[in-house]
Chains A and B, each alone.
Chain A
Amino acid sequence: MKTYLPIIGLEIHVELRTKSKMFCGCPADHFGKEPNTQTCPVCLGLPGALPVPNQQAIIWTLMIGQAFNATLNLESKFDRKHYFYPDLPKGYQISQYDEPLCSGGVVTLPEGVISLTRIHLEEDTGKLQHTTLNGQPVSLVDFNRSGVPLVEIVSEPQIHSAATAKTYAQTIRQIIHFLGVSDCDMEKGSMRLEANISLMSINPGSKPQTDPGFIRLPQYKVEVKNINSFRFLEKAINAEIQRQTAILDRGQLPRQETRGFTEVTGTTKSQRSKEAAKDYRYFPEPDIPPLKFTPSQFKTLIPQLPLMPQAYLDLFIKTYDLRPDYAQTLTASPKLAAKSLAAFILAQKQGLDPAALANLMINQKAITVKLSPSALVNLLQSKIKTSQPQSKTTTLMPLVREVLKQNPDLVTKYHQGKVSVIGALIGAVKKLSPSPVDPQTVQQLLTQALAQK
Chain B
Amino acid sequence: MTARHLSAAQPPRPNHHPSDALLVAYGAGGLGEGLSLAVAVHLAHCPDCRAILAEVEALGGALLEDLPPAPLESLSLAATLDRLDCEEAPANPCKALRIRPRRVPQWHGMAAPGAAPDAIPALPSPLPHPLRAYVPSLDGLSWQRLAPGVRRVELLPRTANGGAAQLLRIAPGTALPHHGHGGLELTVVLSGHFADELGRYGSGDLAEVDGDTNHQPIADSHRDCVCLIATDAPLRFTGLMGRLMQPFIGL
Co-assembled chains A and B = no
Residues of B within 8 A of A (CB): none
